[in-house]
Structure formats: structure tokens, C-alpha cells
Amino acid sequence: MQKIIITFSLFVASVLSAQNFQGMAVYESKTSTSDMASNFRGNREITPEMQKTIEERMKAMFEKTFILTFDRNASTYTEEEKIESPGQQGGFRFMSSMMGGGGTHYKNVKDKLFLVDKEFAGKEFLIQDSLPKLDWKLSGESKQIGNYTCFKATAVRPVSQSDFRNYRAKKQEEDKKEEGDQKKEEKAAGNTNFMDQWEMPKEIEVVAWYTPDIPISQGPENYWGLPGLILEVSDGKTVILCSKIVMNPKEKKEIKAPKKGKIVSQQEYDKIVAEKMEEWREMGRQGGGGFRMGR
């Protein structure tokens, strides 16, 4: 066994030393939607059969596949396109577009820079900012992911206000405390403002598993900074797991930063999203549209 491991490590080292080294990794991303789906319960217009359908569609929407193409310094992380099912319309399509998909996510660990193109509220943005530097705590704990021995690292990070995967349902006690007569009437009528039922945590713990067998400081999304390729990330309600790795694929893909959209920083983009969400929330409260569930 030790001989096999040594041979494999030497093979990886020879691949990485190649002048035009490139790698490709496939990641499966799943976001828990149990608390999101629970907010549809209690609406008297939604039957148990409809509730089951909602939960199944949400589960399918938030299971995504991404491709990470990387070299020693840079990478692109893009969602694998799927054919949209007839059920993914209206509010479902809106929520799906907010859950970490779409566009090209580019990061350069040498220049400590990331860019990602996003479409929001009918406008195209190009987020350009410094790579977030997490204070990773390395652990001796290990596990096997495929052919790779991985080690555990943890960090606490602030939550981006535009990352809707981290929205969580408010506790029922808080809802009751904030619920006035008008809200009670709306709730009884099954015509509540969906966004009023949510809150965003300020920070979350991240658990990552990286492999020194591939000594590249890369990973999915904005994760980087560990002494090896990150193969698994548990981030709040989302788990991202590598299912396939190809070293030096026959067909090389150009790793280039996206250029389309209005350039904004991450903070500026978060502010734009927060303001638009508040606008929609107010429209919903006043009966002028917005994002509502029910009638």
C-alpha cells in the first residue's frame, strides 16, 4: 500500500511539473431546502400533494454540478447547464437564480483577485474584488475522498448578504412576536410576503477537506488558501463535493476572467441586492407585487 501511495504521489508531482499543467474537477453542490419548504406549510391554498411537489422541485433546483478548471495560479468555476423543467418558473426560477449558480467564477491565487459575472434584476454585473482570506485552522483529522487522502480545515467567515443559500427561516417565536393584526390576516388568507419569513446569519463556520496529493491552492467558488486542492466544503446549508478529477486533460480549456457587466466590488453588489430586496419586500407588503407566496 505504501509503495502504491508513493508511486501515485510521484505521478502527481510529475504532472504538476509539466510546463502547461492544467486540471479539471467536477463538484456536486447540494443546498438543504427543508426550512425553506416548511414556509409553504400552513398556507391553506397549498394541499399536501402540492407541498410534496414544491419540496421535490426545490430539492432538484438546488442540486447543481460545477466544473473547476485550474492551473497553478488561476481557475474558473462554472455551472454545468441543465435543461430547465416546465416547473421551474416564476418564484422557483427566481430562487434558483439566487442559489450560487450562473456566470463564471474566476479566481487568481497569485494576484489574490476574483471576478464573477452575475445577472440580477435584469442587469449584468461583474464583481471584482480581492480574494477573501480565511483564517484556516488545520486539523490532523483525515479521510479518503476517492483516491485522495484529505485533511480537515475549519474557518469562520462573514456571510455575504447576496448569497441567498444562507437565508434561513425565522424562528416561530420571533414570527409570533413580530406578527401584528394585519400580518395575521394576511397569513390566514394565505397571502404573506415570502421574504418577511427569512433572516440572514452574520457568520457561518466552514469545514473544508483538502488533499496535499494535489498541492494547488485552489477549490470551488471563493475557497482557496490551503496546502492542497479542496475536494469538499460544508458551508452553512450547502455541501460541495468533488466527484471527479482529471489531471492534464487532452483538451485544454482557456482559463480567462469574465469581462461582461458593470464592474462593482463585492460590497457594492451586496448593497445593490439588499436595496432591491427591500424594495420588493415593501411592494409585497403594500400589495403591489414584489415576491409573494399565495395569491
Confidence bin at 58 (pLDDT 50/70/90): low
Percentage of the chain beyond pLDDT 90 is 42
pTM above 0.85? Answer: no
Q: What is the DSSP string of 214-260?
A: S-----STT---SSSEEEEEEETTEEEEEEEEEES-SS---------
Distance CA 68, CA 78 (A): 7
Chain mean position to CA 229: 18
Q: Amino acid identity of 54?
A: I
DSSP states along 81-147: P-PPPTT--THHHHHHHTSS-SSEEEEETTTTEEEEEEEETTEEEEEEEEPP----EEEEEEEEETT
- Would you place residue 295 in the very low, low, confident or very high pLDDT band (cuts 50, 70, 90)? very low
Give per-residue pLDDT as tens, 265-287: 999 998 998 888 888 777 766 66
Q: Decide if pLDDT at 219 tops 50.
A: yes
pLDDT over 50 (residue 229): yes
Average pLDDT over residues 64-69: 94
CA distances to 104, 173, 252, 267, 272 from 162, rounded to whole Å, are 16, 26, 33, 9, 9
Position 188 pLDDT exceeds 90:
no
Taking residues 243-272, report their average pLDDT: 92
Question: Is 245:68 a contact under the CB 8 Å cutoff?
Answer: no
Pairing of strands 23-31, 123-130: unpaired
Tens digit of each residue's pLDDT (9 = 90 or more) over 82-136: 655 554 444 444 554 454 456 899 999 999 999 999 888 888 999 999 999 899 9
Cα 147–Cα 149–Cα 152 angle in degrees, nearest 5: 140
The predicted model gives 74-81 an average pLDDT of 91
pLDDT at 198: 66
Average pLDDT of span 201-222: 93
* pLDDT of residue 208 exceeding 80: yes
* Pairing of the two strands 123-130 and 262-264: parallel
Lowest mean pLDDT across 4-8, 95-99, 291-295: 291-295
CA–CA separation, 107 and 115 (whole Å)? 6
CB contact set of 136 (below 8 Å; sequence gap of 6+): 153, 154, 155, 208, 225, 226
Q: What is the mean pLDDT of residues 147-170?
A: 84
Is 62 strand, coil or helix?
coil
Which of 153 and 287 is assigned the larger pLDDT? Answer: 153
**3 state SS of 151:** strand
User: Looking at residue 276, what is its pLDDT?
Assistant: 85
Q: What average pLDDT does range 9-16 have in this prediction? A: 54
pLDDT in tens, 23-46: 999 999 988 766 655 555 555 566
Given this model, what pLDDT does residue 14 score? Answer: 54
What mean pLDDT is reported for the chain? 77
